[in-house]
Structure 1
Amino acid sequence: MHPDFPYQLYLVISEESCLHYPLLTVAEMAIEGGVDIIQLREKNLSTSAFIKKAEALKKITDKHRIPLIINDNLKVAKAVDSFGIHVGNNDMPPTEILQNWDKNKVIGYSIEYLEQLQNAQTKAANHLGISPIYSTATKTDTVTEWGLDGIKKIRSLTQKPLIAIGRMDADNAADVIKAGADCIAVVSAICSAEYPEKTSKKIKHQIQQQHENL
């Protein structure tokens, strides 16, 4: 566990990724199963609709004292006073966010190729999303499929907290932590699960067990 990012299981949630229950229900079940931090990712909503959904989710995350991250929309992040924001290469850059938002807020930045580790955006970010570890149907514009060797390489080049995303589940979580990730970010394995709480518990157990072995 990284001292600057004490979260082990990170849920990335959207309405379309939730198969069996509404988004807010999945979020609450996942928190009860051990999710430590949640990112709301709604690429196709208007800003006003995104804010409304974020406000509803924040009531749940606040109740459980879980940080809420907003995906790629600074207006929404500001409107709901979220814990942080997460952006990728084609979004508002972290350096610009720093100039336009509270300095105490957290910025996550997706690493899709090694050269990014040398840029000003990585320096400005608080933590890095390694995206994706394995290619997924939820992200079609993949630049690099990192795999375990990619995590090891990035770990050797930065001390920042690393969040692994991309087809993460209970079967590969331990190996990904062992390779150098600090946190596992999950989308489909939890959001599309018939029992989100049980699935979250299973993944969290694998993460905790591996952290204890390190």
Structure 2
Amino acid sequence: MNGNFQDIVAIKELLKKYPKGLSITEISSALHLHRNTSAKYLDMLKLKGDIDRKEIGAAKNYSLVRRMPVSTLLHFCLHPAIVLDGRSEVVMVNAEALSLLACPLDVIYGAGVKDIPLSLFKDPEVGTRCHDAVQGVRSRAEVQTVVGGKRLRLTVHYLPVVFDTGRDGCALVLVDETACRQAAEERDLCRKRYLALIADQTEFVAHIRPDMT
């Protein structure tokens, strides 16, 4: 078992040196591993989301990437999340996302991300970022949108993910920062009003804490 772990670590360390990736033949030759052994470890790493596999002609090219397994994401993520497959079609949505977007599952499920009937998804940048995430590029964007007459301020995280089948996809994690942003703006407004109040003040100003000290 220890030998297996060392071989897996060796494969990852080797791929770090070759950002463009290596074929299974090159990996086996460099690490003096049997081709079948290398294939087994590479499949394990692919399912874990540690590497990407792309076909170049008849050969398969392997490179390092950081993908989150979909099952792990949905189990631990507390924020609204929408999972897309490699064609940018919705295949999973958690209850938090349905609640935030005030949209039933049958409207979202199976739709292409650009076809979701909500203003948030009409920006062409959303489709571009989803495509990039499927390719392994993580990003995030701060957006404002209106849902059910309420203005929301969201941070959208575009995450590369991997399904249990080994196929690539992406997840949109929607972090609602509306209340936090509003509180920060109200705090800044109060600070500006306070500074304006004392700017021309000639009297002493006493600051009293809630405990009256």
Q: TM-score, normalised by structure 1?
A: 0.29
| Structure number with bigger Rg | 2
Give the structure with the larger strand fraction: 2
Q: TM-score, normalised by structure 2?
A: 0.29
| Bigger RCO of structures 1 and 2 (CA < 8 A, at least 6 apart) | 1
